[in-house]
Amino acid sequence: MCAKVAVAMSGGVDSSTAAWILKQAGHDLIGVTMKLFDNGDVGVEGESSCCSLDDVEDARAVARQLGFPFYVFNFSRQFHHQVMDRFACAYERGETPNPCIDCNRYLKFGALLQRAKELDRDYVATGHYVRLSYDRGSGRWLLHKALHPEKDQSYVLYNLTQDQLSHSLFPLGGLSKDEIRAMAARQGLINAKKHESQDICFVPDGDYAAFIRRHTGKTYPHGPFLDQEGHVLGEHTGIVGYTVGQRRGLGVSSNRGRLYVKQVRPEDNAVVLSDNAALFSTALTACDINWIPFDRLNAPLRLRAKIRYRMAEQPCTVEQISQDRVRVVFDRPQRAVTPGQAVVFYDGDLVVGGGVIEREGA
């Protein structure tokens, strides 16, 4: 089957090799790089670690080599609103968001997919390490983990809808990173050995609080560090600088041993500290739920779940308690259940769905 495909090209080896695989399969391709922000928008001097002119030119060079048209689409307004604004607002609410999830949801498989449809493209393809299948019995598209778990990126794609999945291609889901680089090198792709960035693209220095202050133009007042009984232990420098489980940079000494952030409370501008043992919880509630194999969970279900990107899945029982909320009870206590992060559910290699963590406990 020859399809019309828009390939999202970041300038890296993954998306470039995905384009080559699709080209070899006979698809009609256009390459697309999304312009998401200017370095000045995020307080970066010179070239950042993502979305730079070098990245655009690398993507353009690969498209030229493979013989298909290449375009740069300016989605900076949408990125500002749907990703950077959401990121800052979440920290102001005492949450810790994952902006890559919002970028996939609203940009790659939102704005870009819509633009691709307007250009009469059948699919958007990306270099994500996941796999798709179609279940004829239910008539639904299913999302699966990558064949090589060390590269699996299903966690950041759990909230894709049936429409988005049905118009997506993921050519790399069955390949390892070494295979991708070897394939790119054999074809002489310019970025076969290109370094991968592990940073949030708009916060390349990792200083989230400084970005938020620049982005919002706000100053965030100092407030109390409290213990769980409400005793003042010291003073924090603004709630946007803290996340559940954090130990470094607190500047608080205690005869109780090491202290960690237990809770960020914007309602009274307080940051609650505790020992490590108090960070463990067996339950959480989550909202903004998206299910992939079905529309609703009608009875409690045994699954495995991840509460952050880099962790092993943990056995749990999931119960839908309202139209848009679930309660999750883990077999064993989990450390630092963090509001704003995603909880993603799995059944073997199948991504069942997920949501945004509201709070720990029942």
Domain range for residue 113? 4-186
User: Do the domain assignments include residue 287?
Assistant: yes
Q: How confident is the model at residue 42 (pLDDT cuts 50, 70, 90)?
A: low
Per-residue model confidence as pLDDT tens digits over 288-321:
999 999 999 999 999 999 999 999 999 999 999 9
- Tokens representing 261? 């952030």
Indicate if 258 and 132 belong to the same structural domain.
Answer: no
Indicate if 30 and 161 belong to the same structural domain.
Answer: yes
Residue 74: which CATH number? 3.40.50.620
Would you state the pLDDT for residue 204?
Answer: 86
- Share of residues in the chain with pLDDT > 90 (%): 87
Measured CA to CA, the distance from residue 1 to residue 113 in angstroms comes to: 20
Would you state the pLDDT for residue 199?
Answer: 72
Indicate if 61 and 170 belong to the same structural domain.
Answer: yes
Q: Which of 50, 201, 287, 316 is catalytic?
A: 201
Give the distance, in angstroms, between the CA of residue 114 and the centroid of all CA atoms in the same chain.
20
Would you state the pLDDT for residue 37?
Answer: 87
Query: Is pLDDT above 60 for 44?
Result: no
Would you state the pLDDT for residue 106?
Answer: 96
User: Do the domain assignments include residue 193?
Assistant: no
> Is 51 an annotated catalytic residue?
no
Binding residues: 8-15, 34, 127
Tell me how many domains the chain contains: 3
Would you state the pLDDT for residue 198?
Answer: 67
Indicate if 36 and 135 belong to the same structural domain.
Answer: yes
Residue 241: which CATH number? 2.30.30
> Is 201 an annotated catalytic residue?
yes
User: Do the domain assignments include residue 213?
Assistant: no
Indicate if 48 and 181 belong to the same structural domain.
Answer: yes
Q: How confident is the model at residue 38 (pLDDT cuts 50, 70, 90)?
A: confident
Task: Using the Cα atoms of residue 210, residue 211, residue 217 and residue 219 in order, give the sign of their dihedral.
Answer: negative
Indicate if 258 and 284 belong to the same structural domain.
Answer: no
Indicate if 71 and 154 belong to the same structural domain.
Answer: yes
User: Do the domain assignments include residue 198?
Assistant: no
Phi first, then psi, for residue 225 (nearest 5°) are -85, 125
Whole-model pTM: value is 0.94
Indicate if 153 and 269 belong to the same structural domain.
Answer: no
Query: Is pLDDT above 90 for 46?
Result: no
Indicate if 104 and 182 belong to the same structural domain.
Answer: yes
Yes or no: say if 202 and 42 are a contact pair by the CB < 8 Å rule: yes
User: Do the domain assignments include residue 99?
Assistant: yes
User: Do the domain assignments include residue 216?
Assistant: no
Binding residues for ATP: 8-15, 34, 127
Reduced DSSP (H G I as helix, E B as strand, rest coil) percent helix, strand, coil of the chain, to 5 = 30, 30, 40
Q: Which of 2, 51, 89, 103 is catalytic?
A: 103
> Which residue is it, tokens 């963090």?
338
Per-residue model confidence as pLDDT tens digits over 129-143:
999 999 999 999 999
